[in-house]
Every structure is written in C-alpha cells, then in structure tokens.
Chains A and B, each alone.
Chain A
Amino acid sequence: MRLPVILYITGVLVRLFAATFLPAVLIAVVYREWADLAGFLAALVLTFASGAGLLRVAGAAAGRASEHMRRVEGLACVAVTWLLVAHLAAVPYAFAGLGLIDALFEAMSGLTTTGATIFVDFSAYGRSIYFWRAMTQWIGGMGVIALFVAVLPRLAIGGRELFFAEAPGPEEEKLTPQLRHTALALWQVYAGLTVLQVLALVMAGMSVFDAACHAMTTLAAGGFSPHPLSIAGYQSATVEWIIVAFMFVAGANFALQYRALRGNRTALFKDEEFRAYTAVVLVATAALALFLVRDGLAPWEALRHGVFQVVSILTTTGYASTDFQLWSDQAKMVLFLLMFIGGCAGSAGGGPKVVRHVLMARYTLRELTRTLHPRAVLPVKLGGRVVPEPILRSVQVFMLFYLLSFSVGVAIVVALGADLITGITATIACLGNIGPGFDAVGPMANFAGLHPVSKVVLTLLMWIGRLEVLTVLVFFRTEPWRSARWSAT
C-alpha cells in the first residue's frame, strides 16, 4: 500500500469535488441567502485547498505511479475519499448553525443516500441548504467516484479498481469495453431520468424547486425532502404515484436499464434479480395492504400507502407518504423486514441487495441438497450462468459482516440510552442507507435526540453500508497497514 498514491488519487478526486458546490452557490445567490453563500464559498475553497494540499504532499512521482494502482490502494482511495468528502460537504451545514457532529451526520446521510436527518426545525434553513442536501444525495446515488471516472480520462486505467470498489453489488460487469464510457452511460441514464421526474412532478403541480429536490433524492434512493412532513406534506396521490414509479426505477439496476433503452427490451424482465425485486414489491405490498385494511384503512388508501411505503423502504429511499410510526406493529413488521433487503445491484439503493439474498437462498438450498447427495456437483446459478465460488464466498462474508456491523451498532446505540426499537431501527436505517426507522427515529421524527457518540457511530455505519462493508472493514486488519509506506514505488 503506497500512501502517496492514495493521497494523490484522493487529492485529485477531492479537488474535483469542489466543483459540486457551484450549483448551490448559484442557488444561494438566486435566493439571496448570503449567510449560506458564505458557507458554500468557504466549503468550495476549503475543498479545493485540501485537494491541492494532498496533491502537493503526495508529490509528482505519485501521479505517475497511480496509473498502476493496486487493489488495496483502490479500496483505500474509495474509503478515504468518501470520508473526506463527507467532512467537506458538512461545512455549509456548520455555517448554517449545526454542531460539528450533527453537520457531519447530515452530510454523510446525504452522500450515502441514507436520508436520515438531524434537522429539528425545517424553517430554520434556507433553500440553498435544502438544495445542497438533495444535491449530495444525487451525487452519492450514482457514486462520487463513478462521476469522476466519467469526467476524468486520467482515471480510466487505475479507475477500474476504484469503480468496482464503489459500485454496489457483488458482480463486476462493464457495459462497454471502456470503463469511462460505462460510467458516462450510467450517468446519462441517471441524469435523463432525473430530468424526466422533475417534469412529471412539475406537471403534477409541485413547485420547480421542490420538484428538483425530490427528483434528485428519488433517483438517488436518498429520501431527503425539503418538506418537514416528507411526501405526506403534499397530500397528492398523483405526486405519490410518480414518486413510487421513480423510486422503483432507482432501486433497479441502471446498467440493465441502459441496455433496455439501447433496444434490448427484454433485458430487464429476463434478469433474475429484477424479477425477484418485483416479486418482493408485490408480495410485501399485498401483505402490508392487508394489514392496513385490517387496521381500518379504506382499501384504496391501504394500497396507495402500502405500495409507497414498501417501495420507499425496499429501495432504501425513506420517503413517507404518511406517518407510518402510527401503524400497527404487524404493518411495521413488513417494513422492518424490507429494511434488510435493499435494492438491486447496480442501482442507487443501499442495503445488502436483492441479488445477495437470491444467492444466499440458492447457496442454502444447495447445502441442503448436498446433505442428501454428498457426491452431487451443484453449481449455484444466476440467470442460467454459474456463479463462481469466490463470488459466493464473498457474498457470505458480506452478509456475515453486515449482520456483525448491525449488532455492534445496536449494542452501542442502545447502551447509550436509546430504547430497543429505536436502537435497532436507527442502526439498520443508517447501515442500510434507508433513512427513517421507528419510534424516536420515525418518519416524522429525527435523529437529533440521540447521544452524540451514537450519532458518530451511525455516521460511520452509513459510510460502511454505502461502501458495502468489506471496502471499509478490510482496513481493520493490520496487514494493509504493515505494508503501508511513504514511497511512490
């Protein structure tokens, strides 16, 4: 692990990240929010300076060496960049009056598309802050690094390690031979869908500003809303159905959607993960709607809120069309189980991903068959193709560490004073990048009341969850550190 290489790449990425403050600067000027403007400008300067500083420290030799990045260096770059960028994204919040821990929590919640908020009084912040909140999610949804790979030809070679370390899901697949074109294609689909949603929401009667904020956070499967009551605040079934449709799209594999748009119309429906994802939505909606009807909701209302909440939680978006904290435990149970599934691989959604559950189920079935037929040759297949054993192993390890991180998180949050339901759901909501949980962290509540240490732990869990656990946890081993050195060769 050559530290200068890591610093160099991180420096390149961070320096570029400075540009993402520009739209917020513009919004602050348009709405004449001068205090917030100072925050954005400060963040912009600080970001650019940190990037440049890192490059200076790394030295020119590191730049040449970075063309041959090693796997562990790629992982380190991704982990460090995300952590650093989250700190820089927190600067405007700090200027707007949030404490440092709270500002970092909000920034990380944005970039990791979690959508858990620390805001108590929504009227205390300007529009540019809400725009920045949505913007962080939009960038985080497709991946900070995927964005830079798309715009930086220099990253095309070493970028491979970065790109796949950041991309969600167990499988590595390129759409086009050149990584840069793959990243570009994905961003095109993503941006195109965002524009489409803005138009749809505006036609449904939402203001352009709110529509833009919601479109950015829907396609990122993020869940931040400038409205204190989330989507419930608009009281519009049309808006809800539009958002359901786009959340569903955000939770599906963008690479497949790109193929479908490119003329391979059946690509989506032939995909086993997409079919499983659709099946989960249908079954969970049916179950939830039944519980809601039993609890006294009119059937149509039950279906409307049922499907909205199922898609919102499954895709890890985290919007609320109603205060589901008030629902019965049976209805909440359905949502709770969905929190452990997540969207599809290659989507903007978080969580363990549908495909990992499919693979785990097949793996378990295989071991059952093996007890009956000890000599059987039993490959695990996905979409008719054999899944290599190393991928199966990594899926198992992922699941194990995911649950381990979850348990540790629950232990700390509850030990620091939260009640059990709050502790459990706050932890999974952050680790799975979902957003709201139940009880004290319910959809109409916020995370401000938690112990400061809990907030730090949850912030770290968001980071771990977004980078799919292993990218971060590998640095809890001593081996990468022992091989760390201050030379570019």
Chain B
Amino acid sequence: MRVVIVGGGEIGFSLAQALSAQHDVVVVDQKSSVADRFERLDVQFLQGTGTSSDVLQRASVDKADVFVACTGLDEVNIVACALANQVASPRTFCFVSRQDFVEMPAEQKGLARFGIDRIIWPEAQLAADIERIIGAPGALDAEVFADGAIRLLEYQLDAGASVIARPIADLHFPAGSLLVAVRRGESFFIPRGDSQLASGDRIVVMGTPDALQDVRRRLLGGTDERRQRVTIIGGGDVGFRLAERLEDSMDVVVIERSEERGALIAGRLRRTLVLAGDGTDLELLEAEDIGRSDVLVSVIDNDERNLLASLLARQLGVRRVITRVGRQANLRLFERVGIDVAISARGAAVASALNQIEGGTARLLALVEQGAGSILELQVPADYAARALRDMAPPRESIVGAILRGSQAIVPRGHDRIEPGDRLLVFVTKAAADRVRDFFTGARA
C-alpha cells in the first residue's frame, strides 16, 4: 500500500514508524528540521506544504491508497484532504482538534464535501480515555471491549497487598478474570502460574466487570461509594470535554487560567465549578482544598507546567494524579517522578488510525503501558479446527484474554475451546504481535 502522510509531528512520526515496515510511506512537512527524524525510518520525506497541489503531485498522491493529514492546523488538514481527493481517490484520514469541525451538520455529507473519509479527533479520545480511568477507582489504566462485556484495568501493587510474594496459581483470582501482564521496572512480561508478584509491580487484569469488582476489592480493600471529587487543571478542549462527561456523576472543579475561556466553559457546563486561576498557584490550590480531591487531572497544553501542577497536587495529598503528556519521550519520565498515569493524546489516536488503515483479520484495540503491550482482536477463520486452549501452544508472549462468541464473552480457562468464527481478544507484547496473529488466524505472511 502507498501511504502519504502530511504532517511530520508526533502523530505523523508514530504512524510512519508503524507503517513503514510493510508499506510505502511518503511524509510531507514544511519544516526541513524534522527530516532528520524520518531519515532514520525507511520512508520518503518531502519538504513542502500539504495544501499545495504541486507538492502533493510530487508525493504521487495519485497513486496513494491512503492519505493522512495530521498537521497541527485543522484547516490545513481539511484542505489537504480536499486536494488529495481531487487528484485521486485515496482513503483520507483527517486529524482535527476542534469540536466545530467534528460536529458539522449532517456529519457524513459535510465531511464528504471536503473529501474526508474519517475524522480523527485525538483530544476527544484522550478525554474518553481519562474518563474511563477515573471511572475505575484505583486503576492506572482502563479499557473497555465488546461494548463493556470485557474490561481491562491496570493497578499498582503497594507493599501491603495480599497478593504479593505468592505463586500466582495460589492466588485464585475470581472466575471471569485473568492476570495478563506485569510491568516490573523496565521489564514487561506475561506471568505464568509459578510467577510471583512483588511490591511496586504494575499488573494488568482483564475480565468481566463483575469479576473485576472482586479483583479490585482484593487489591485495594473495601469499596468507597461516595461521589468522587475530581479537579481538572486546564479548561482546554480535553479539560472541557472531560468535565462535561464527568459532571453528572462526580463533583468536578476546573481551574482555567484565561478568564475568557473560563467564562465560555462555565457557560456551557452545568454543574462544574470553574475557577479562574493558575493550576500552579499554590495559594489557590490550598484555598480551594484541592488536596482533598480523589483525582487530579492536569491537561494543560504544556508539559512542564503540567508536571509542576501535578507534583504540587501530589504534595497536597491528592491520591491519584493523571497528567497529559505532549512529547512521547516524556511519558516514562513523568511516571518515574511520581505521576500515577501519564497519558498522551496521540497514543489512542494513532492506534485507531492504524487500525482503520490496516484493517484485515486483526484489529489493534488498545495499547497498554505505552505500547509495550497491546490488545488485538483476532477473527478465527471458519476452517479452524476447534481445540481447547490447554492443547495449544501459543507464543509465550501472548495470552487469550477473552473469547467473544455471538453475544457471549468468555474469560477462558485452560479447558475452554476456541471454535471457528470466534473473535479473540489477545494480549500480546510488542515483539510478538505478528507471530501471534499468524498463529490464531492461520495466516502465513
């Protein structure tokens, strides 16, 4: 496949990196300074603007199957897609950051007029991701699959956890739940029955919502049913959308620096308390008793201030701190200095773009621990010979988290069988993704 990517920022780079192994990728960006980064990938780099038909001609858009516009400017992305669509008819993916484009009247027609096949809105996906994490008390990450029938949660174990220092086989996790992965320091592995958990481990559990309730109780003790207090620092697109989604079920406070923006979002939110002030203003944080928040989400558009605000909140005693990270390189850094969850708008958006570009028998549903692991959805072919899980020898770097059969969702044990037509949710580590796909779908690349 030939893929043309306009925009060589973080998103463009992640996409190029993921696609370059199997496809012809051309990257267009105005800044020559980003060229170096792409030189190291096996891609073609063109300097120029995506809104020039001349440049697009040179990128041979006419032969492209897929066209992705992911510059930082919504208007540029839309115009680029429109131009590409005039030259040829590739599938076009347009990244936007503002609501007004997404909610164009009669959505499909509005997009079609601009020659856009798919709109991808990273900020909205980020807000949805953060909402899921907040909705799972104590968790560091949360994903939902199969319309909520299967969930994935990530927890950090502290020294007092009852599950520490015993073989996993003896822990008797509740039926319907499955421990799929452990991160310990820099290493990331799929545990076996004889593995032991240690204090400080981050563990990833999959299962049905009910079973995961039990897991949570065992890991964190009694449940706490009162309304959560959530403080959001930064009332931009992500902060506003997040507040909008949370305000009915939680007590939400938004701290926004710009008076004007504050007035705008206060007018559109119904129950949220909007404060005009700086999220790094200690006096304000103390006066408003931010330390008593259950969760603090810092989603300012600046990594340094985000980090400062988050660390201040941690000092004030906030139990869970979730921070937006702009530069991918900062992800690990943030978590190392004590941020519970560092999350980037790009990860989820890139994953969903890749999914739609690649399509086929395997779909990437979610990335875990910044891509160290991922959840794939695999379609078992109709000619597959049904077998029980324990009779198979799948790659060691994978584990079947759930079998979706019709409307049923099964969290499998060894005796469960995989039948033709099933869909599998498989957890794999980064290195093994391709091998796992081939193993279950019988494809030979």
Contacts and interface: CB of A to CB of B under 8 A. Distances in A.
A381 B276 CA distance: 18
B274 interface: yes
A379 B267 contact: yes
A377 B266 contact: yes
Contact of A373 (B262, B263, B270, B273): B273
A51 B3 CA distance: 80
A378 interface: yes
B284 A377 contact: no
A381 B263 CA distance: 12
Interface in B250-276: 256, 259, 262-263, 266-267, 270, 273-276
A124 interface: no
Nearest to B288: A373
Contacts of B273: 369, 373, 376
Contacts of A381: 267
A374 B266 CA distance: 15
A381 B268 CA distance: 9
Interface string A284-305: 0000000000000000000000
Contacts of B284: 375
B288 A377 contact: no
B277 interface: yes
Contact of B266 (A378, A384, A385): A378
Nearest to A380: B267
A151 B226 CA distance: 62
A375 B277 contact: yes
A379 B275 contact: no
A431 to B, nearest CB: 35
A376 B274 contact: yes
Contacts of B267: 379, 381, 385-386
A376 to B, nearest CB: 5
Contacts of A376: 273-276
B66 to A, nearest CB: 41
Contacts of B266: 377-379
Contact of B274 (A374, A377, A384, A385): A377
Contacts of A379: 263, 266-267
A373 B266 CA distance: 14
Interface in A401-443: none
Interface in B233-258: 256
Interface in B276-329: 276-277, 284, 287-288
A375 B255 CA distance: 10
Contacts of B288: 373, 375
Contacts of B275: 373, 375-377
A47 to B, nearest CB: 49
Q: Which of A373, A374, A375, A378 has the most CB of B within 10 A?
A: A375
Interface in B27-42: none
Nearest to B263: A377
A225 B270 CA distance: 46
A217 B381 CA distance: 80
Interface string A117-148: 00000000000000000000000000000000
Contacts of B259: 377
Contacts of B262: 377
Contacts of B274: 376-378
A384 B269 CA distance: 9
Q: Which of A369, A376, A378, A386 has the most CB of B within 10 A?
A: A376
A404 B270 CA distance: 35
B276 A375 contact: yes
A449 to B, nearest CB: 53
A384 B266 CA distance: 11
Contacts of A385: 267
A376 B252 CA distance: 13
A385 B264 CA distance: 11
A186 B266 CA distance: 34
A17 to B, nearest CB: 44
Interface in A364-408: 369, 373-379, 381, 384-386
B281 to A, nearest CB: 9
A369 B270 CA distance: 15
A196 B55 CA distance: 72
B227 to A, nearest CB: 18
A128 B277 CA distance: 69
Interface in A325-351: none
A21 B259 CA distance: 58
B4 to A, nearest CB: 43
A314 to B, nearest CB: 29
A363 to B, nearest CB: 15
Nearest to A387: B267
B164 to A, nearest CB: 43
Nearest to B265: A377
Contacts of B287: 374-375
6 contacts: A373-B273, A376-B275, A376-B276, A377-B262, A385-B267, A386-B263
Among all A-B residue pairs, the 7 with the closest Cβ atoms = A386-B267, A377-B262, A377-B266, A377-B274, A375-B275, A379-B267, A375-B277
Interface of A: 369, 373-379, 381, 384-386
Given A375-B288, A377-B275, 7 more contacts: A373-B275, A376-B275, A377-B259, A377-B262, A377-B266, A379-B266, A385-B267
